Amino acid sequence: MIDTLRLTAEGAMGLLERGELSAGELHAAYLGAIAELDGELHCYLRTSEEPSGDGIPIALKDVISTKGIETTAGSRILSGYTPVFDATVAARVKGAGLSLLGKTNTDEFAMGSSTENSAWGPSRNPWDPARVPGGSGGGTAAAVSAGLAPWGLGSDTGGSIKQPSALCGNVGLRPTYGTVSRYGVVAFASSLDQVGPVARTVRDVALLYSIVAGRDPLDSTTAELPEAVQLPEGDSLAGVRLAVPKQVGDLDAIEPGVRAAFEASLERARDLSAEVGECDLPLSYRYGMPCYYLVAPAEASSNLARYDGVRYGLRTPASAYDEMVEETRDDGFGPEPKRRIMLGTYALSAGYYDAYYGQAQRVRTLLIREHRDALEGFDAIVTPTSPTVAFPIGDKAADPLAMYACDLLTIPSCLAGLPGLSIPCGLSDGLPVGLQLIGRQFGENGLFRIGHAFEQAIGFDTVPERLR
């Protein structure tokens, strides 16, 4: 009997290499776990019954194009769309022999912090199915947490890998912008979107990152890694300098239990011989949210204009072209994409472009400089990943501003294009709390080293208590 709840990807690799089980048996074990639990959790939109490779199974967020397999980005406007090609990251995992388990649920077009915006219904948190798994990549995070996949790929625009990883008790990496190809990934905000791994351990995350990272001639925004990805070892933080933003202490949005787990993590860092100091990010915490909610909706407005009922996906019959486009978009887009399309279209409209989108991009430049200056004397910036633990389904659904605030701590570094790693650091009211580590550009190896040392010291049990 294969215990998928505790099996890491690295452990699964060892079983395969030693011949203790076959790829088919491993794939079947995860399908069995999916059959048992996914009716309650709704992590997957569709599964692959037969292994597509001879290696470890993997789950892909349903914004990643997969040849011959429906890809909807959680939206009815793409219902029935079956790509004729693989996204570069899908091709790379296949090329490494990984076997596709299925496509995971997501907020529509990756717009959300709870996976409640999916046109196919919400995913649920394995720690408490009455609560959200985070978003937009809640399906992938919940699948890994519940043992329905050993690892998966998500996408992160303003926190959609890091925040659900925190709420589900996983490890999640948003890589440096440009280190992972976006070719074949359904676009939300092109200057922000980035694909990254979710897994149970930092070493698993590093291993999956090594498979998908690197320059892609099909994506002109990609770059070669300056050094090879290194699997972390060791349990000391000697010589490591960590910075806590001064502003974190003043944020009332951070729940007491989250703050307590965060403070305990800082004490562990000191015990591991790290130096913990302060940095100052005043612009990032004052203007990060409004900046993001101008840049991202504006780019979404441009990207989502391609969904017109003509080329792919949903088409609502009508007597005239303009009427068909209007009715297709009205039927196909849910409330959140409509809200962001309207915000973005207004920000890009004649007479307002420079005042809104242009100004937001100038502010973004200031945030990039502020992070660069803050990291000059430190190896990583450390904050809670999410200001709260997983909240009840429906709790914030009627209040978009409250939902947007879930990404308060993840957005600034995303605007700066920097890598961020979330690791579980404790519990609050029986629910996971995430610790966010933000590094310099191309500083993933440093984050892996720091995250791994924390992981060893904290000893967090990633299996949800109700499933043990």
Nearest in space to 8 (alpha carbons), one of 144, 168, 133 = 144
422 labelled catalytic: no
What is the residue type of 397? A
Q: Decide: helix, strand or coil at residue 245.
A: strand
Catalytic residue, candidates 160, 265, 301, 422: 160
Q: Is 185 left (phi over 0), alpha (psi -120 to 50) or beta?
A: beta
DSSP state of 47: E
What distance in Å separates the CA atoms of residue 146 and residue 56, rounded to the nearest whole number? Answer: 17
Nearest in space to 198 (alpha carbons), one of 462, 403, 386, 465 = 462
Q: Give the containing element (helix H, strand E) for 420.
A: strand 420-428
What distance in Å separates the CA atoms of residue 273 and residue 256, rounded to the nearest whole number? Answer: 26
Catalytic residue, candidates 114, 136, 165, 422: 136
The answer to whether 169 and 424 are in contact (CB under 8 A) is: yes
Catalytic residue, candidates 48, 52, 61, 422: 61
136 labelled catalytic: yes
Q: Which residue(s) pair with 185 in the sheet? A: 64
DSSP state of 72: -
160 labelled catalytic: yes
What is the residue type of 78? L
Q: Which residue(s) pair with 419 in the sheet? A: none
What is the residue type of 404? Y
- Among all residues, which ones are annotated catalytic? 61, 136, 160
